[in-house]
C-alpha cells in the first residue's frame, strides 16, 4: 500500500463520491475520432430536463481513498471494497487502480469580479495543475463571463490552454450555470473513460439562462466528477453573493462526488491545484451490475466501504452518492 498527497489545504471534505451508470464505458469502447473543433458552443436553449439516454445497467464508480492525514492510498485490492446499492451488497466485476488519463473540462471565470490578482493567481495555479496531470490528459477550455465560450475543444497541449488564458481580460457578468452545462456537454464527448470538471470561479452567477436546479439535476445524471476552486477575497466571504457562490460550488462538487476548495493565499492555491491533479491520478475504478436493477427512474443510493489492511488505521473512501435508475444522460 502506497501513500500520496498533501496534509495541507483548506478544502471542505465531501461525504461521498460515486461515478454513475457507465456511459463513460461506452465512450471509452468507441473513441470519437476526427471530430472537428467548434468555434462556438451549442445554443443554451437545449432543455436539460429532457436528456438523451443510453440503455445500460452497468454502474461504474471512481473512488478516492485517503488516510487520517489526507494522503492518497494506492495498492489496495478489490477485496478491500464493499459496495452497497439500495441497501444490498453488490459483486464487483471490474476493478482497476491504474494511473489512467482523464478528459478534463476547465471552466475559467473571466467576469469582472475576477479582475486583478484573482485571475493572475488562478492562471499561475492552473499551470501547476497541468504540470502535475497525466501526460495523456485531454482538456476542454471554457471561459465565461456574460456567456460561456468554448476556447479549446479536446487538446492534449497544456501550454495551449495557458496561452489562451493570457488573451482574455475579465469583464461583464457571470454565466456560471451556463458554463457548467457547456462543460458537461463537451467533456462527456471526451475520449477517456474518466471525466472531470474543474471550476475556477468566485461562484457568483448573475447572467445564466439555466438555473441552479437544472444544472444540479444534470450533474446528478452525468458521469463527470467536479472540483471547484473558489477564488474569494475577504469581502466576497462576508457578502451575501459570496456566500451564495460558495454554497453553489459546494453543492456541485458534493453531488458529483468531487471536492471544493477555498484557498486564502497564492501558495495555498498552488498546492490545491496540484492536489486535485494528484487525486485524479490516484483513484480506483470499480464496476458492478446491480442485482435488482430496474430502469424506473428512481434514485438509488450507493455507499462504498473500504477495509484497511490489518494493522493499519482507518481509511476514508469518497465516491458518488448514487444515480438515477434510468439510462445515463448524454448530450446531442
How many domains are contained in the chain?
Answer: 2
**Alpha helices (runs of H) in 133-261, residue ranges in sequence order:** 158-165, 176-187, 212-221, 234-238, 240-256
Q: How far is it, in rounded angstroms, from Cα 8 to Cα 25? A: 34
Element (H, E) at 155: strand 148-155
The pLDDT assigned to 3 comes to 66
Average pLDDT over all residues of the chain: 82
Residue in the structure block whose three cell numbers are 475520449: 191
Q: pLDDT of 199-226, one tens digit each?
A: 999 878 889 999 989 998 888 888 789 9
Sequential DSSP letters for 242-292: HHHHHHHHHHHHHHHT-EEE--SSHHHHHHHHHHHHHHHHS-EEEEE--TT
Is the pLDDT at 34 greater than 50? The verdict is no
Q: What are phi and psi of 32, to 5 degrees?
A: -85, 120
Confidence of residue 331 (pLDDT cuts 50, 70, 90): low
Report yes or no on 28 lying in a domain.
Answer: no
Mean pLDDT computed over 66-95: 94
CB proximity list for 110: less than 8 A, separation 6 or greater? 119, 143, 144, 145, 168, 169, 170, 171
Residue 285 near residue 25, CB atoms below 8 Å: no
Report yes or no on 42 lying in a domain.
Answer: no
Is the pLDDT at 26 greater than 60? The verdict is no
Q: pLDDT of 235-248, one tens digit each?
A: 665 566 567 878 88
Q: How far is it, in rounded angstroms, from Cα 18 to Cα 61? A: 5
Q: What are phi and psi of 4, to 5 degrees?
A: -140, 160
Identify whether residues 178 and 324 lie together within a single domain.
no
The pLDDT assigned to 242 comes to 65
Identify whether residues 146 and 179 lie together within a single domain.
yes
Identify whether residues 225 and 249 lie together within a single domain.
yes
Q: pLDDT of 120-148, one tens digit each?
A: 999 999 999 999 999 999 999 999 999 99
Domain that holds residue 11: 2-22+58-98+285-330
% of the chain residues with pLDDT over 90: 55
Q: How far is it, in rounded angstroms, from Cα 97 to Cα 91? A: 17
Cβ atoms within 10 Å, residue 179: 31
Identify whether residues 173 and 128 lie together within a single domain.
yes
Report yes or no on 31 lying in a domain.
Answer: no
Amino acid at each position: 500500500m502506497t501513500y500520496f498527497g498533501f496534509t495541507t489545504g483548506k478544502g471542505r471534505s465531501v461525504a461521498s463520491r460515486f461515478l454513475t451508470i457507465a456511459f463513460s464505458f461506452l465512450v471509452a469502447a468507441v473513441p470519437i475520432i476526427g471530430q472537428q473543433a467548434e468555434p462556438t458552443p451549442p445554443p443554451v436553449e437545449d432543455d436539460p430536463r429532457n436528456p438523451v439516454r443510453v440503455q445500460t445497467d452497468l454502474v461504474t464508480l471512481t473512488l478516492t481513498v485517503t488516510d487520517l492525514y489526507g494522503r492518497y492510498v494506492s495498492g489496495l485490492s478489490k477485496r478491500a471494497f464493499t459496495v452497497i446499492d439500495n441497501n444490498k451488497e453488490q459483486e464487483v466485476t471490474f476493478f482497476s487502480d491504474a494511473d489512467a488519463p482523464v478528459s478534463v473540462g476547465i471552466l475559467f471565470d473571466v467576469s469582472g469580479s475576477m479582475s486583478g490578482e484573482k485571475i493572475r493567481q488562478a492562471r499561475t495555479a492552473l499551470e501547476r495543475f497541468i504540470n502535475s496531470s497525466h501526460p495523456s490528459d485531454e482538456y476542454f477550455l471554457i471561459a465565461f463571463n456574460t456567456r460561456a465560450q468554448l476556447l479549446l475543444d479536446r487538446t492534449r497541449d497544456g501550454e495551449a490552454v495557458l496561452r489562451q488564458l493570457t488573451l482574455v481580460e475579465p469583464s461583464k457578468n457571470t454565466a456560471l450555470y451556463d458554463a457548467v452545462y457547456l462543460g458537461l456537454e463537451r467533456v462527456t464527448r471526451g475520449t477517456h473513460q474518466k471525466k472531470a470538471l474543474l471550476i475556477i470561479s468566485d461562484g457568483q452567477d448573475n447572467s445564466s439562462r439555466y438555473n441552479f436546479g437544472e444544472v444540479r439535476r444534470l450533474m446528478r445524471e452525468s458521469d463527470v466528477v467536479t472540483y471547484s476552486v473558489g477564488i474569494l477575497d475577504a469581502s466576497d466571504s462576508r457578502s451575501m453573493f459570496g456566500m451564495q457562490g460558495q454554497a453553489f460550488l459546494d453543492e456541485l462538487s458534493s453531488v458529483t462526488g468531487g471536492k471544493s476548495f477555498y484557498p486564502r493565499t497564492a501558495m495555498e492555491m498552488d498546492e490545491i491545484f496540484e492536489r486535485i491533479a494528484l487525486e485524479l491520478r490516484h483513484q480506483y475504478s470499480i464496476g458492478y451490475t446491480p442485482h435488482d436493477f430496474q430502469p424506473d427512474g428512481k434514485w438509488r443510493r450507493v455507499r462504498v466501504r473500504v477495509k484497511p489492511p490489518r494493522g493499519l488505521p482507518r481509511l476514508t473512501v469518497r465516491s458518488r452518492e448514487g444515480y438515477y435508475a434510468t439510462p445515463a444522460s448524454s448530450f446531442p
